[in-house]
Structure 1
């Protein structure tokens, strides 16, 4: 029976996932059968497919692994990546704003997609080889930002860190703060928008809409940080759920679309007077626990077009200091009302915040 020492990059993953990575033609049924008959052992003890493995453990398994199929070999050929140029390496490394043993955080510029797609040739995922440094593997994406949204994007440097961070995002333990410039000023200075979202029919899944009946739960807190008369507002958004385009849809649903967001605000989502037509939405700050028990708390500087718009409107970014963190146990859960439709100006999904 072959003997394998579990590598650091496989620490914390399930046993069946290990086979998926290292012997992709070994099906879950095969792994299960080996486990039932005692053919797989971790440190000498029988193991089950769902067992978590740890770096340094000794894994024994039968020596009759299936030969790679034609489909697997084809996938391997497709996954081959051309070496990055010096310009590409310098480009992605210039975005780094934090780096430690578990994570790399970049300040993603607007216009750069997180992953590839139709017509997309340059994206973060395609540049990650440049951020491997001394790690065993390239870093992994654990969350996403829209192509035109700038700001904090966290990358996990190991499989264990990726599993840890993914669990934090899925469990809503990570706290994300976005800055946006909106058309007009919300009537309610601070509060919470509770409006379920679903894919809008007829858009091929490219657009979301408020769907009180069949939508998935979506909640966003916000507060107005400054205003330019009634023309525009600097608004801080904190999503409590993670739906596609959530902040953009919620902002438009209360009648204050984000500047530059033609998809959800239409032709009225643009300002004159030298204000850029680009989307004015920026992932300003991320606070998330680290696998070693510490905490990552990182903020990203504004991109040039938003900084210029703020200057034109007289907004001072230094005034956007974060609120004092309050323990969840000390904060009573308020009742919230929901939007009954996505009609512009319908504010029944807003909950007023007292003392915000």
Structure 2
């Protein structure tokens, strides 16, 4: 453990980044439990004041960093991750949709977790060793649920990762998800502004609508557009989250009475009947955001076999959708 207390300054590329993400980038070996303990005891401070894990940082702010446990050696890290086999390296590289000197975009398959846990040994974070270790190792800048497929961005350098994460924090990343939902939402396009709160613990955790004044509730906003319908039973939706809450899209669609098909956690009777034999019908189709060093980065992910099965069952084809279904949409708010 380092016995030194440090004071760090928030850079331009980190403006708007959450405190927990700020720590995760610099000390990836510090887990959530360790960090939350430091935050609750007031050992981590921003501009002299106590903060929470989800506090957003501002350029120029000072962050007090208390003594932290030492990072495991590179040998230890390799043993923990286990050295990737040639087959695993090939598999990791096969997921790449786009790569340049700053960014890697992969098409994350449904069923593959982004990060590991007690019961999760195979995950995207482990596969990043395919590009090397240390500074060669790409960095995660956002997450997708285990069963959600689609575009996942990685920063190839610390600076690129910070700039990408900053774009997410400042809502400069325009994400388009495709989802198959039960029924036909009315109106056909709209804006869900329903705060959410986590209930339960660990694997049993679920996200539910809440009053914004309730302790632990977070503002959550989702824009939606209907792309196509399979009669009154199923709709193919484009969903755009304007906030990044856990299970936001899944909880919001359930909240308006149109659960995403294949979702055991947020199903209702109607979606359950339509979901037999299907996995989660949610796919991160497209992302558009400022490139870390130049211009605009736009990446699209082809359908994963899991959602492809849903498309085939209900007669949808990807070419029915416009490139950006939200280009002409008006924000009709629903609560």
Alignment of 1:1-356 (within 5 A): 71-72=69-70, 78-80=76-78, 81-132=81-132, 136-201=135-200, 206-212=205-211, 213-214=213-214, 215-272=217-274, 276-323=277-324, 336-337=333-334, 349=335
For residue 189 of structure 1, report the CA deviation from its aligned partner. 0.3
Question: CA–CA distance in 2 between the matches of 1:298 and 1:114?
Answer: 18
Count residues with an aligned counterpart.
278
Structure 1 residues 153, 12: closer, same or farther in 2, change over 3 A?
A: closer
Shift of 1:77: 6.0
Number of the residue aligned with 2:52:
none
Cα 1:281/1:325, change in 2 over 3 Å: closer
User: What TM-score comes out, normalization by structure 2 length?
Assistant: 0.74
**1:173 Cα offset (Å):** 0.6
For residues 217 and 165 of structure 1, the distance between their equivalents in structure 2, rounded to whole angstroms, comes to 22
Q: Which structure 2 residue ranges, 5 or more long, are not aligned?
A: 1-10, 16-21, 31-59
Task: Show the counterpart of 1:344.
Answer: none
Runs of 4+ in 1 over 4 A off after TM superposition: 10-14, 48-51, 73-78, 201-205, 324-327
| RMSD over aligned Cα atoms | 3.4
Matches of 1:294 and 1:73, distance apart in 2: 36
Is the Cα–Cα contact under 8 Å of residues 271 and 277 in structure 1 kept in the other structure?
A: no
Could you say what secondary structure the match of 1:79 adopts? helix
Q: Kindly name which structure, 1 or 2, has the bigger radius of gyration based on alpha carbons.
A: 1
Aligned to 1:31: none
Question: How does the TM-score come out when normalised to structure 1?
Answer: 0.70
Deviation at 1:94, TM superposition (A): 0.8
2:197–2:209 CA contact under 8 A, matched in 1:
yes
* DSSP-derived class of the 2:236 partner: strand
Superposed displacement of residue 290, structure 1: 0.8
Q: Which runs of 5+ in 1 are unaligned?
A: 1-9, 25-47, 52-67, 338-348, 350-356
Distance in structure 2 (CA, Å) of the matches to 1:232 and 1:205: 28
